[in-house]
């Protein structure tokens, strides 16, 4: 039995070797595939590749062969093709000499697709730092727009600032090229020029009035973008952008700076609430300077106060007071009841009309019409008004444009207030004669004085440079006052600047001046306020052949001086003198001798 066990054990390895050999032989038979089977598989695999390529080509390149292909192609294009707006360059605003007042500079806005943004803590912090935002604020903004496909992260960055953000290579962030407005003159012409908003559309001033002309027409192009929102390729120009038209204003920036400087100095000296200066070209009706205080810097509106944006010279109304007396003299001469040498007895220095008593600063006695203007006599003016027809004075005011829109096209310009009544009370006839009971803007007042300066011819005021080459023609003109009457009134107005007048501080060394001072009480909740005033001066130079009309308004001076002859007349003298020299208007008289030390100047008042 032991031998049989040994024999079976000896036979087992041999059988195992036979099984291994059998398996190896079987494997050799599997690897040796028949040729027809091999080529069948090759052809099948190749056919599958061709079918896949043809399917892809059908989806993206070849004409549609299945209804579903058109849908898939449109979906692909909608995700990759975009129509992008091409911003138009906004037109330049210049002064009459071509000096820029408003220009556009290229800027970059950073945009994002919130649905693609995936910001971890580090990326979010870096992005916030380069956008100069707090991390929490940026995160909250992105969360608010999470369901949108577009949002602005930052507007109107400089190209280097924008590139610093784009260099982060954050998926979903891209740029948009835009323009930003810049104002070289700053606050000097701020209320007149106005400003644009973040989308480059006019919001105030001439930027708003002529927005459609300045804005131009936006273009468009088709581009290919990747999934990160970056432009890969510009495919097609759909519509070219059209730059906006340029606009030349009537102002002379040199005169604007002079008027701004002198008004600001007067505001500081007399601690006034506000003020305006208007300089008008008598020959054309163009506004050569228009400044207001307080002003603002249109290039930095972070601390902008709404009240400082108003162009007070065109929008704010005031009762002009005694500056209306020259026009009352026009009505007196037109009536035929008075002539320049007519003498009016103003004694005893006061006059009662109804319940109202009109008082002069002192008893001036007998005065001719020139003396009434020079002394700004309320009594003399009232006595003249009482002898005129009720509508006579109002009729003159109406003919020179008071109570009517100036027609400059400036947003919010006021037409003023000129009352019309069937029956006039005596006190109303008197108060209107010296500038109460009506309301005007500084520009309206300047336009009315321009009629006196232009031999009775009324011209429409213009804020645009009058130039036939640029298509801006002068407005209609009309003879509204007789030339001889106007010449007589101008001669009377010279006396206001003389040694006995209330406007001595408006005198200019080398030019004769004709003008009138005015000081009116401000209106408060309970009526006229006895300690609040508006000081005015309106005048023209050279007096015999005027070229310029200048109106100065100092609102609510809080110092001891508040009369128009003291607060407004000096501003008139400085602005008008430099303006005439810049315009090369020849002096018409020799310089006045300088006052020696110890001499005095009369501090006349007006009412």
Mean pLDDT of the chain: 87
Per-residue pLDDT at 185 exceeds 80: yes
Residue predicted with more confidence, 37 or 509: 509
Residues 555-565: tens digit of each pLDDT:
999 988 999 99
| Rounded percentage of the chain residues whose pLDDT exceeds 70 | 86
Residue in 104, 295, 322, 447 annotated catalytic: 322
Which pLDDT does position 61 carry in this prediction? 63
Asked if omega into 542 is within 30° of 0 (cis), the reply is yes
- Which residues have C-beta within 8 Å of that of residue 273, sequence separation ≥ 6? 555, 556, 558
Identify whether 414 is a catalytic site residue.
no
| Token representation of residue 591 | 């310089």
From residue 320, give the alpha-carbon distance in Å to each of 416, 418, 445, 580.
11, 12, 8, 26
Residue 181 DSSP label: E
Strongest mean pLDDT among 47-56, 294-303, 465-474: 294-303
Pairing of strands 287-293, 202-204: unpaired
Residues 256-287: tens digit of each pLDDT:
999 999 999 999 999 999 999 999 999 999 99
Which pLDDT band holds residue 56 (cuts at 50, 70, 90)? Answer: confident
On whether the CB atoms of residues 71 and 162 are closer than 8 A, the answer is no
Residue predicted with more confidence, 449 or 65: 449
Which pLDDT does position 79 carry in this prediction? 57
Residues 214-233: tens digit of each pLDDT:
998 888 777 776 665 667 67
Residues 188-213: tens digit of each pLDDT:
999 999 999 998 999 999 999 999 99
On whether the CB atoms of residues 252 and 465 are closer than 8 A, the answer is no
Which pLDDT band holds residue 598 (cuts at 50, 70, 90)? Answer: very low
Residue predicted with more confidence, 449 or 606: 449
Per-residue pLDDT at 31 exceeds 90: no
Which pLDDT does position 160 carry in this prediction? 93
Per-residue pLDDT at 24 exceeds 80: no
Residues 395-426: tens digit of each pLDDT:
999 999 999 999 999 999 999 999 988 789 99
DSSP string, 92-104: PEE-TTS-EEEEE
From residue 263, give the alpha-carbon distance in Å to each of 115, 271, 570.
55, 12, 10
Per-residue pLDDT at 602 exceeds 50: no
| Token representation of residue 292 | 């207001």
Q: What share of the chain is helix, strand, coil (3-state, %, to 5)?
A: 40, 25, 35
Q: Which CATH number fits domain 253-298+312-467+475-582: 3.90.1150.10, 3.40.710.10, 3.40.50.300, 3.90.950.20?
A: 3.40.710.10
Q: What is the C-alpha separation between 144 and 133, in angstroms, rounded?
A: 16
Query: Which alpha helices (DSSP H) does 145-238 contain, by range?
Result: 159-166, 190-193, 205-209, 211-215
Residues 288-331: tens digit of each pLDDT:
999 999 999 999 998 889 889 999 999 999 999 999 999 999 99
On whether the CB atoms of residues 205 and 246 are closer than 8 A, the answer is no
Q: In sequence order, what E strands does 438-579 have?
A: 457-459, 477-479, 514-524, 527-541, 548-555
Per-residue pLDDT at 596 exceeds 50: no
Per-residue pLDDT at 599 exceeds 50: no
Per-residue pLDDT at 78 exceeds 90: no
Q: Model-level pTM?
A: 0.82
Tell me: domain 83-248, CATH 3.90.1310.10, correct?
A: yes
* Domain boundaries, given as residue ranges, for the chain: 83-248, 253-298+312-467+475-582
């Amino acid at each position: 039995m032991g031998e049989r066990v040994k024999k079976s054990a000896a036979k087992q390895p041999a059988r195992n070797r036979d099984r291994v050999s059998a398996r190896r032989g079987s494997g050799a038979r599997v690897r040796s595939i028949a040729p027809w089977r091999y080529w069948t598989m090759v052809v099948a695999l190749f056919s599958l590749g061709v079918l896949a390529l043809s399917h892809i080509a059908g989806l993206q390149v070849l004409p549609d062969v299945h209804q579903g292909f058109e849908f898939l192609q449109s979906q692909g294009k909608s995700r990759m093709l975009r129509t992008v707006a091409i911003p138009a360059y906004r037109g330049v605003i210049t002064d009459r000499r071509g000096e820029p007042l408003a220009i556009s500079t290229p800027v970059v806005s950073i945009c994002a697709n919130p649905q693609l943004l995936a910001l971890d803590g580090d990326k979010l912090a870096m992005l916030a730092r380069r956008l100069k935002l707090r991390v929490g604020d940026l995160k909250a903004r992105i969360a608010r727009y999470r369901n949108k496909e577009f949002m602005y992260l930052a507007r109107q960055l400089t190209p280097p600032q924008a590139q610093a953000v784009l260099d982060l290579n954050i998926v979903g962030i891209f740029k948009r090229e835009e323009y930003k407005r810049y104002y070289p003159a700053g606050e000097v012409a701020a209320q007149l020029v106005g400003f644009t908003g973040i989308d480059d559309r006019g919001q105030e001033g001439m930027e708003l009035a002529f927005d459609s002309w300045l804005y131009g027409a936006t273009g468009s192009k088709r581009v290919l973008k990747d999934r990160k929102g970056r432009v890969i390729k510009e495919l097609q120009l759909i519509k070219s952008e059209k730059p906006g038209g340029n606009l030349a204003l009537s102002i002379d920036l040199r005169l604007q700076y002079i008027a701004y400087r002198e008004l600001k100095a007067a505001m500081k000296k007399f601690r006034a609430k506000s003020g305006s200066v208007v300089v008008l070209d008598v020959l054309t009706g163009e506004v050569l300077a228009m400044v207001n205080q307080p002003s603002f810097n249109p290039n930095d509106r972070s601390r902008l106060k709404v009240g400082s944006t108003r162009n007070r010279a065109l929008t704010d109304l005031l009762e002009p007071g005694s500056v209306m007396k020259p026009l009352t003299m026009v009505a007196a001469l037109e009536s035929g009841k008075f002539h320049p040498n007519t003498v009016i007895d103003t004694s005893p220095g006061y006059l009662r009309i109804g319940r109202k008593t009109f008082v002069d600063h002192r008893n001036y006695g007998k005065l001719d019409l020139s003396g009434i203007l020079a002394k700004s006599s309320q009594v003399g003016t009232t006595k003249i008004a009482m002898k005129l027809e009720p509508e006579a004075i109002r009729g003159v005011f109406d003919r020179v444009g008071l109570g009517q829109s100036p027609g400059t096209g400036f947003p919010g310009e006021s037409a003023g207030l000129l009352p019309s009544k069937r029956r006039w009370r005596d006190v109303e006839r008197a108060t209107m004669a010296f500038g109460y009971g009506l309301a005007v803007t500084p520009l309206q007042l300047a336009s009315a004085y321009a009629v006196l300066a232009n031999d009775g011819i009324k011209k429409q005021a213009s804020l645009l440079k009058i130039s036939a080459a640029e298509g801006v023609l002068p407005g209609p003109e009309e003879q509204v006052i007789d030339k001889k009457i106007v010449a007589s009134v101008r001669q009377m107005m010279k006396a206001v600047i003389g040694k006995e007048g209330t406007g001595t501080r408006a005198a200019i060394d080398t030019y004769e001046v004709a003008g009138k001072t005015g000081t009116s009480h401000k209106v408060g909740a309970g009526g006229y306020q006895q300690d609040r005033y508006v000081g005015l001066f309106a005048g023209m130079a050279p007096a015999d052949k005027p070229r310029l009309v200048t109106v100065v308004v100092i609102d609510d001076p809080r110092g001891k001086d508040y009369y128009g002859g003291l607060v407004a007349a000096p501003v008139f003298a400085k602005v008008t003198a430099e303006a005439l020299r810049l315009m090369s208007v020849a002096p018409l008289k020799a310089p006045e001798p300088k006052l020696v030390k110890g001499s005095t100047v009369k501090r006349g008042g007006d009412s």
